[in-house]
Amino acid sequence: MKVNIQTPNFVVDEKLVDFINKRLSKLEIFYDRIIYADVFLKVQKTSDKENKLIEILLSIPGDDVIAKKGAKTFEEGVDECVNALERQLKKRKQKERAFS
């Protein structure tokens, strides 16, 4: 799976890139036909502590799967997004099995 990470207005740390790639690679256990993942990391200019926005879009045959989360840190948000995507992929796989 190809991973595209987009970070407007700041430079992403190499450790964060490795973390994202490692977490996303685990999704292939649940669904092996993922084509690519687009990861958008944004920082909102608010006084709120949860000002990090994480959006992950998985391109798979059929329609895309997306998860958006807000968190205090990018790592926490990526974890939450990956967990949400994992649930969506499991549901999709169950539906596919029911139709075949």
What are the sequence ranges of the domains in the chain?
Answer: 2-99
At 20 the pLDDT is 96
pLDDT tens digits, one per residue of 26-44: 999 988 889 999 999 999 8
Instruction: Name the residue type at position 69.
Output: K
At 56 the pLDDT is 97
CATH number for the domain formed by residue range(s) 2-99: 3.30.160.100
At 100 the pLDDT is 64
At 64 the pLDDT is 92
Instruction: Name the residue type at position 64.
Output: D
Task: List the beta bridge partners of residue 82.
Answer: none
At 2 the pLDDT is 94
Provide the CB-side half-sphere exposure for 77 (13 A, CA). 22
Q: Which residue positions in the chain have pLDDT lower than 50?
A: none
- 77 vs 38: CA distance, rounded Å: 15
